[in-house]
Chains A and B, each alone.
Chain A
Amino acid sequence: SAVISQKPSRDICQRGTSLTIQCQVDSQVTMMFWYRQQPGQSLTLIATANQGSEATYESGFVIDKFPISRPNLTFSTLTVSNMSPEDSSIYLCSVMIGRIYGYTFGSGTRLTVV
C-alpha cells in the first residue's frame, strides 16, 4: 500500500484567512481524494483530483472555496479559503492503489477556525 505524508497535522486559523494542506504520496497514483470529517461525523468526499485536469467536486463543494492543485502524480494540495468557524474539521487526503486494497489515508489535518 502507499504511504501518504500530510501536513500540517493541525492548525488554528483566523476567520477570513486561507490554509493550504499538502499531501505527498510515495508512489505515483492517478487519483487523489480529499475528504472532510466534521466533529463526530463520518467522512464526506470533497473532490477527486486527477493529474493534468481540473478536480471534480462533489455536491455542496465548490472550487472557489476549496481550490485543489495536482501538479504531478505524487502530490496534491487543498486550500480552504476565506475560512469561517464552520470550516473547523479534519481534512484528509486519500489514494486508492487498487480496488481490492482499499483506500490509504493521510494522517489528517485538524483545522480550528477562530
Chain B
Amino acid sequence: GDSVTQMEGPVTLSEEAFLTINCTYTATGYPSLFWYVQYPGEGLQLLLKATKADDKGSNKGFEATYRKETTSFHLEKGSVQVSDSAVYFCALQDDKIIFGKGTRLHILP
C-alpha cells in the first residue's frame, strides 16, 4: 500500500542555517503531496502542496518539489528562524491521506 517515510528527528539547527527534511513516498497512483506543520500546542496547518510531478510548492520561505523519478518531496528552507521550531509532517493523498511520522525541528537562537 501507499506509504510515506520521512527523516527522523529531532533536527536541531542554529538560526539562519539551511534546512532539509527528507521525505520519500510509495504510491500506486498519482497522489498529491503535502507538508503540514504543527506548532507547539496547536493542530496541523497546511504548509505547502504539490499536485503533480515537477510541481514546486512554496510558502513562508519553505519549498518542496514533487520528484516522481526519485519519489521524493523534500522540504527545504534557506534560512531558518527560531519561530520555525515545530513538528513537520509529510503526507500523500490519493484515496485517503497518509502521514509520515513527523520530524521535530528545533532552531537555536
- A residues contacting B by CB (< 8 A) are 1, 6, 41-43, 45, 90, 92, 96, 99-108, 110
Given the contacts A42-B89, A42-B101, A42-B102, A102 and B46 also touching, CB distance less than 8 Å: yes
**Contact for A105 among B41, B44, B93, B101, CB less than 8 A:** B44
* CB of B10, distance to nearest CB on chain A (Å): 10
* CB of B42, distance to nearest CB on chain A (Å): 6
B contacts with A, residue count (CB < 8 A)? 20
**Contact for A107 among B43, B49, B91, CB less than 8 A:** B43
Bound Cα distance A86, B42 (Å): 21
In the complex, given contacts A104-B46, A105-B36, A107-B43, what are 18 additional A-B residue pairs having Cβ atoms less than 8 angstroms apart? A6-B43, A41-B102, A42-B89, A42-B100, A90-B43, A92-B43, A96-B97, A99-B93, A100-B51, A101-B49, A102-B32, A102-B97, A103-B46, A105-B44, A106-B43, A107-B42, A108-B43, A108-B44
Of the A-B pairs whose beta carbons lie under 8 Å apart in the complex, a sample of 21, sorted by A's number, is: A1-B46, A43-B44, A43-B89, A92-B43, A92-B44, A99-B32, A99-B93, A100-B32, A102-B32, A102-B49, A102-B93, A102-B97, A103-B97, A105-B36, A105-B43, A105-B44, A105-B45, A107-B43, A108-B43, A108-B44, A110-B41
- B residues contacting A by CB (< 8 A) are 32, 34, 36, 41-46, 49, 51, 89, 91, 93, 96-97, 99-102
